[in-house]
Each structure stands twice: as structure tokens, then as C-alpha cells.
Chains A and B, each alone.
Chain A
Amino acid sequence: MNTATIKTNINTAQPAAETAQQVEKDSVYSTRQLNLWYGNNHALKNVDLEIGENEVTAIIGPSGCGKSTYLKTLNRMVELVPSVKTSGEIQYRGRNIFDSDYSVEELRTRVGMVFQKPNPFPKSIYDNIAYGPRIHGIKNRKILDEIVEKSLRGAAIWDEVKDRLNENAYGISGGQQQRICIARALAIEPDVILMDEPTSALDPISTLKVEELVQELKEQYSIIIVTHNMQQAARISDKTAFFLNGEVIEYDSTDAIFSNPADKRTEDYISGRFG
């Protein structure tokens, strides 16, 4: 099983969709008129966003602006919160993720996620990485060994843990745990990786490592990262979306957002006047 072929297969799986919608040729996700409510709280308002392939898209905004909610909607993890209602649609590779025949398991197999706090499973490092492939039916020990090594190398942590693969993943530092979680997501070779403030619980050196990693990963993956650290967004992303009170205020290339924002509120936020 060669990884390159798997990815090519995924990418060419919807040729019809690509020709039909030329405009969205490079879109992984296109969100149209997305609204989301937690009970009566209107958390996302008419969100429209196109997320590009093999790009890093940063989502910034003050606390409570809906940026994490939006990210969790992309793999439907938001639905774990009781009393969530949505309207509108999110096309992932040309398919509406809210379609009743699109199972969340299938979606989440394509779209990996890295959380705010490192959350490795209380298992060995090896079993953490092998978890995804195993539940999706890969049992061959040799193939699993390969996947584990490749994923740990991909997350730039192989050299640090290669001699302790059988130790509990909670025995390593927080920064290493977070890269284990990234490796765990890489193990099923997803198409998109969602990152929800992945460095907010890490020290500066670990943060730097994760940021470098994001730069490397975008060669192969489309990455959407929520961050409250504007310098981080400026450093690592290609495009930036600024959320405020559940609305997308501005969405443009990161250079444009940070050097020449079109909206006054964006300017106020990135210059640190609020949030």
C-alpha cells in the first residue's frame, strides 16, 4: 500500500464535481450561508468561506467570536454539544457534509483534528498512532509499523520517541504530546487537518516546533488553524479569516489582512485595540 496512490485517489475521486464547478476547483471546503445556534444563542451568522487546497488558513478573532465553533462544524464535532442547530451548507470536496447519507465517521476519516490541549489516549505511543489505522481495518503489524514510523517522522517527533514507542504517551512533555496528537491525525493520511489553537497550552519552543511543522505539512495537507495569537497567524498562514460575533468580517490573503485590512474592525483587532 503506497501512500501517494491513496492520496491521488482521494483527490481525483470527484472529477465531475470539479468540471461542474470550475470556480471552486481549488476549494476543499466551501461554506455557504452557514448559521449555527447553541439553543437560542446564534453563534455563527451567514458564514461564507472558501478554503483552499494545500494552504494554511488561519481563523482569528476574539474569544467567543465563533472561530472554534466554525472549525468544529467542519468535521461536525460541534454536534456533540446538545441542542446545536445548523442551517446552510458546507461542501467538502463537492459534497454537503450535512447530507443524511454522509456519515460523520466517513467525514472524520478524511478530516483530521488536533485539539487545544494535547489529548493522547492513555495507551503507548505506538498504540496512539496505530489507533486510527486499526479502527479502519488495518491489522497487519508490518504495515502498522511503517505507518507509525512515517507518521511520527511526519510530525517531526520520531527521533525523540523512537526508543520509547511502548511507553505511555502521558510520560512525555506537553509539546511532545501535542506532536503525538498531530502524528495520530496523520496516521490515517487525511485530506484536511483542523487545528484548534494547537499551541495555546505549549511553551514557546514547542510552539515554534509545531509552527514549523505546519509549514511542512501544508505541502501535503490543507490546514485550517484557529489561533488567538495574531503573530502566529501572520507567520504561518496563507489566508486569514477574521471572525467577530459569529460573522466573517474579512477574509483575504494573510498579507493583505495584516498590512492593509479593508475593514476598520479588523484593523482595530490586529492592532490590539480590543480582544
Chain B
Amino acid sequence: MRTSVQDMIAQSKGKKNKKFIEKLIPVILFLIASVSVLTTIGIVMTLIIETITFFTRVPITDFLLGTTWLPFSNKEAQFGIWPLIVGTLKVTAIAILVAVPIGLSAAIYLSEYATDNVRRVIKPVLEVLAGVPTIVYGFFALTFVTPVLQSLFPEIKIFNAISPGIVVGIMIIPMIASLSEDAMSSVPKSIRDGALAMGSTKFEVAMKITVPAALSGIIASVVLGISRAIGETMIVSLAAGSTPKFDGDFAGSIQTMTAYIVQVSKGDAGYGTTIYYSIYAVGFTLFLFTMAMNILAGYMSKRFREEY
């Protein structure tokens, strides 16, 4: 007669290496998980140290309050961050104006109106749009959108804030549409049925029930979209120009924080120069912006969370 199953289990439990592996696994997993945390800490530390070096050469007040960004000037270089922030905000504002209406409309259509078949086709297409490399979007802005805009409004220059703004907007549409659609689809059907049974039209249900109920997710998607627009680099480097300006001009060349970093990194300044350290200060500012946006997204999604 063979030994009972319980006996076999008892035998195999007694094996030493099984216990050892059980103890080792969490240690290995912890070390691997630590890598990402340590990398983040390392990046932030580098940013902070190099930024502090920059501020030993340029007073922090000049950096934060100055409205002229002239790092390459032979006479007197000026490092007032505001022109770069204004450039970034111009592109971001246009991107949001493009992406929020289109992204939300797409999300409402997909979650409230589209049949399953339509959704099965459109959602992957949206995700393909999210996978297009940003350099391709950059060429699209420079070689297609800008000429089209110029033919409509001749005062627009070859480098401007509008064309990259529109294209950055197109880039973040899938993100806003997809995340908002997820939020709206998770509103229970029973709640929609309740509204339809009151004699609501589909559009009334979408606008007065589904969108408010999904508001936390929608706002989070928009804030994350803003965060990506602020951090977007290739499109603005190719199509926005490199003229830091502290004004309200959208039609001419501007420069964003990211585009400045690219410009310097391409080799315009040597290691150890003030210009070299300035990219860390600009990078740190950018980091603060996107971090603030991500924290805001987290806060918003808690603040507007509807219970159901």
C-alpha cells in the first residue's frame, strides 16, 4: 500500500531548501523594489546638488524674480526663469484647450453611446495614438500643422507656440479620453437606469449623472494630461523655437523649460559652466511643476470622489 497523501505532504514540508527559499524570496523582491525607489532618490539628489551649485553662482532671487532669460549673452548673462515658464504655460494652455473638449467628448461617446463593436475598434486606435513617438509628433507639428496654420493666418511664424500646443494637445487626447472613459464606465449601470426611468434622455444621463459621478477620475485625467504637456520635450524642441520671451505672443518663436534643457544638452555649453548648471535649476523647476500636478491629481481624485 502506498503512503497516505498527508504523509507525503509532511515529508515534502520537511525539506530544508523549501523553507530557505520562502525566506529568501521576500528579501530578493524587496531589493528589486528598492532599485526604483533608490533611483528616484538618486535623481532628485543629483538635481538638488547641481541646482545648489547653480545658486552659488546666480542669486536665487534673480532666478525666481527675473523676467529675462539670456544665458548666452557675452556681456552679462541673465537667468530669470519666467520667460521659460511662460513659454511652457503657453504651449500647455493651448494643449489643454485642444485636448480637454476632444478627449472628454470622445470619452462620453465611448462610454455612453458607442456599441461594444465600435468601442472594440476605437479604444485600441486611441491607444496606438498614445504610442506614437513624440519626435514623430514634433515633425508633424513642424512640417504639417505649422504650414496649415500659416496659410490660414499669415502672421504666424515658422516657430510658434500654437502649432506645438495643438500637437501636444493631440498627443494627450488618448490619455484624457481613455482615463475618463474608464472612470465613466465604472459608474454602475443601475444608476443610469434610474435616471433613464425618470424620463431622462441619454445626453441628460451623460451630463447630469455619469460625468458628475466620474468627476474625480475625469479631473485626475486632465491634471495628468497637464503634467505631460508641461514635461513634453521633443515637440516643443522641434516646433516652438528657442526664443525665451516674457510676453503674451503666441504667433512667434518661444522657448519652454524642456526645450532649453535640450538646447544646452546638445552641446552649446561646456561642463562646469554656469549655463551647464542652469539646466539643473530649470530641470528642478520643471520637476516641481510636474510633481505639484501629480499631487494635485491625487488630491482631486480624493476630493471629488463620489460614493456609490
- Cα A152 to Cα B201 with chains together (Å): 25
> Which residues of A are found within 8 Å of B208, using beta-carbon distances?
131, 134-135
Residue-by-residue, is A103-126 near B (CB-CB < 8 Å gives 1, otherwise 0)?
Answer: 011111100110101011111000
Residue pair B198, A185 in contact (C-beta under 8 Å): yes
Interface centre among B188, B197, B209, by most A CB within 10 Å?
Answer: B197
Contact of A168 among B187, B198, B204, B307 (CB under 8 A): B307
Residue pair B193, A115 in contact (C-beta under 8 Å): yes
Interface centre among A104, A106, A122, A188, by most B CB within 10 Å?
Answer: A122
Q: Does B212 reach chain A (CB closer than 8 Å)?
A: yes
Contact of A109 among B190, B191, B199, B308 (CB under 8 A): B199
Contact of B308 among A104, A108, A170 (CB under 8 A): A170
Given A135-B204, A168-B307, A170-B307, A119 and B196 touching (CB < 8 A)? no
Q: Does B213 reach chain A (CB closer than 8 Å)?
A: yes
Q: Does B158 reach chain A (CB closer than 8 Å)?
A: no
Question: Closest residue of chain A to B306, judged by CB?
Answer: A122
Contact of A121 among B115, B194, B199, B201 (CB under 8 A): B194
Residue pair B213, A115 in contact (C-beta under 8 Å): no
Residue pair B190, A119 in contact (C-beta under 8 Å): yes
Contact of B191 among A104, A122, A132 (CB under 8 A): A122
Residue-by-residue, is A181-199 near B (CB-CB < 8 Å gives 1, otherwise 0)?
Answer: 1001100100000000000
> Which residues of A are found within 8 Å of B115, using beta-carbon distances?
82
> Which residues of A are found within 8 Å of B212, using beta-carbon distances?
122-123
- List residues of B (262-308) whose CB comes within 8 Å of A's CBs: 306-308
Residue pair A115, B190 in contact (C-beta under 8 Å): yes
- Cα A121 to Cα B191 with chains together (Å): 6
Contact of A113 among B191, B197, B200, B201 (CB under 8 A): B197
What number of B residues sit within 8 Å (CB to CB) of A?
22
- Cα A119 to Cα B213 with chains together (Å): 13
Q: Does A13 reach chain B (CB closer than 8 Å)?
A: no
> Which residues of B are found within 8 Å of A115, using beta-carbon distances?
190, 193-194, 197
- Cα A114 to Cα B209 with chains together (Å): 17
Q: Does A208 reach chain B (CB closer than 8 Å)?
A: no
Residue-by-residue, is B199-217 near A (CB-CB < 8 Å gives 1, otherwise 0)?
Answer: 1110010001100110000
Q: Does A75 reach chain B (CB closer than 8 Å)?
A: yes
Contact of B200 among A135, A168, A185 (CB under 8 A): A135
Q: Does B195 reach chain A (CB closer than 8 Å)?
A: yes
> Which residues of A are found within 8 Å of B198, using beta-carbon distances?
108-109, 112, 131-132, 135, 184-185, 188
> Which residues of A are found within 8 Å of B307, using beta-carbon distances?
122, 168, 170-171
Give the Cβ gap from B148 to chain A, nearest Cβ, in Å.
41
Contact of A119 among B191, B201, B204 (CB under 8 A): B191
Residue pair B193, A105 in contact (C-beta under 8 Å): no
> Which residues of B are found within 8 Å of A264, using beta-carbon distances?
none
- Cα A105 to Cα B195 with chains together (Å): 11
Given A122-B307, A123-B212, A168-B307, A108 and B196 touching (CB < 8 A)? yes
Give the Cβ gap from B114 to chain A, nearest Cβ, in Å.
13
Residue pair B191, A108 in contact (C-beta under 8 Å): no
Residue pair A119, B199 in contact (C-beta under 8 Å): no
Contact of B193 among A119, A120, A184 (CB under 8 A): A119
Residue-by-residue, is A169-184 near B (CB-CB < 8 Å gives 1, otherwise 0)?
Answer: 0110000000001001
Q: Does A80 reach chain B (CB closer than 8 Å)?
A: yes
- Cα A184 to Cα B200 with chains together (Å): 13
Give the Cβ gap from A146 to chain B, nearest Cβ, in Å.
18
- Cα A135 to Cα B307 with chains together (Å): 22
Residue pair A121, B195 in contact (C-beta under 8 Å): yes
- List residues of A (126-143) whose CB comes within 8 Å of B's CBs: 131-132, 134-136
> Which residues of B are found within 8 Å of A184, using beta-carbon distances?
194, 198
- Cα A193 to Cα B145 with chains together (Å): 57
> Which residues of A are found within 8 Å of B199, using beta-carbon distances?
104-109, 132, 135-136, 188
- Cα A170 to Cα B191 with chains together (Å): 12
- Cα A131 to Cα B200 with chains together (Å): 10
Give the Cβ gap from A6 to chain B, nearest Cβ, in Å.
15
Residue pair B188, A119 in contact (C-beta under 8 Å): yes
> Which residues of A are found within 8 Å of B204, using beta-carbon distances?
135
Question: Closest residue of chain A to B191, judged by CB?
Answer: A119
Residue pair B194, A119 in contact (C-beta under 8 Å): yes
Given A121-B209, A122-B213, A77 and B196 touching (CB < 8 A)? yes
Question: Closest residue of chain A to B205, judged by CB?
Answer: A135
Give the Cβ gap from A151 to chain B, nearest Cβ, in Å.
12
Residue pair A105, B201 in contact (C-beta under 8 Å): yes
- Cα A193 to Cα B197 with chains together (Å): 11
Residue pair B190, A77 in contact (C-beta under 8 Å): no
Show 11 A/B contacts (Cβ-Cβ < 8 Å), sorted by A: A109-B199, A115-B197, A120-B194, A121-B191, A121-B195, A132-B198, A132-B199, A168-B306, A181-B194, A184-B194, A185-B198
* 20 further contact pairs, Cβ within 8 A, besides A119-B188, A119-B194, A135-B200: A77-B193, A104-B199, A108-B198, A109-B199, A112-B198, A113-B197, A115-B193, A119-B191, A120-B191, A121-B195, A122-B191, A122-B213, A122-B306, A122-B307, A122-B308, A131-B195, A132-B199, A135-B204, A184-B198, A185-B198
